[in-house]
Copies of this chain bind each other. A is one copy, B any other.
Amino acid sequence: MSAASSRATLIEVAKLAGTSKTSVSRFFGPERERLTPSLQTRIANAATALGYQPNLMARGLKGGGSRLLGVLVADIRNPFSVAVVHGIEQAARTHGYSLIVCNTDNDPEQEQQHLRLLKSYQIEGLIINAAGQPEAQLQALKHSGVPLVLLDREVRQLDVDVIGLDNALAIDMALDHLVRQGYRSILYASEPPAYASTRQERLQRFNQQAERLGIKSQTLILSSSAPDFETLTAFVEHPGSSPGAVLCANGNVTLAMTRSFQQLDITLGQTGLMGIDELDWCELITPGITTLAQPTDDIGHAAVSCLLNQLNGSAQASPVRYRHAPRLQIRGSTTLVPNF
């Protein structure tokens, strides 16, 4: 019995329950109600007696659906990504789906590889936070009928639903807050915008709005190697006629900038610091770092329901672009204190 526990099959259950495989199959599918109550209990008993677990591989093979969703994340060690995956997992579970989570470490090469793999597993849907521009592969997937949702980052020339932050709103909220707090010169720090639509959108909106609001603005693109102390020092020492603040495009940048502030001994608040993405430690850096928190669970849930909508055929003709609003978390790093 012990070794057989993994082997209990539909047919064995049927035999024990004195019925046919078809009925047992129905019992475990959506047609359970079509079965006579007495048959239902007989099957239920037999199944539990044998410790039967449907073989999802077999089901996936015959077209009953694999009940698997693919999740392709660009950087699994990014807390934002993990938080979203957490949301996805919750939502998926309540709908009876499991996740194959793949991490590309921001490497387009690995991304291609993983995409091929996910296809092999007959996933019923794919949520992808693209690292490169895997346009061709995704197009192929889409054409072969696999529902697709882009997470956070768009892919050029690919007409599928996108779920993420309302980047324009986020930048507007940030600028509004900073201006309201008295900062008049703003340095926008971002990772290189190439290949990540989110970075481009935010950067573009920043430039646009800064001009519209008549703010003295400047941009700093972080290289992956050494921090750019010169630019930062120059900005802090000559913020123009009024106090300056640094706005960080995402959590990684906030981390890097906080480090730089400390190394250059820049006082938080006196020079403002604000970041998109909420992190555990933002409240711990005295006097606290102001952030725009993304509703990560909501984003995850939205991604899943988007997928399920497509699965149920109730897909929109034109792709949806679902943009979530951030939540402003005000802390000391954007409070201009008199210089003692």
Contacts and interface: CB of A to CB of B under 8 A. Distances in A.
Stoichiometry (number of copies)? 2
Interface residues of A, number: 56
Nearest to A116: B53
Interface in A75-102: 76-77, 79, 82-83, 85-86, 89, 93, 98-102
Contact of A101 (B57, B101, B286): B101
Contacts of A53: 116, 119-120
Interface in A294-340: none
A298 to B, nearest CB: 16
Contact of A6 (B57, B93, B146): B146
A61 B57 contact: yes
Contact of A122 (B2, B57, B85): B57
A119 B6 contact: yes
A281 B251 CA distance: 12
Contact of A54 (B51, B120, B144, B281): B120
Interface in A60-84: 60-61, 66, 68, 76-77, 79, 82-83
B98 A100 contact: yes
A120 B141 CA distance: 25
A36 interface: no
Interface of A: 2-3, 5-7, 51, 53-58, 60-61, 66, 68, 76-77, 79, 82-83, 85-86, 89, 93, 98-103, 110, 113, 116-117, 119-122, 140-141, 143-146, 255, 258-259, 262, 279-281, 283-286
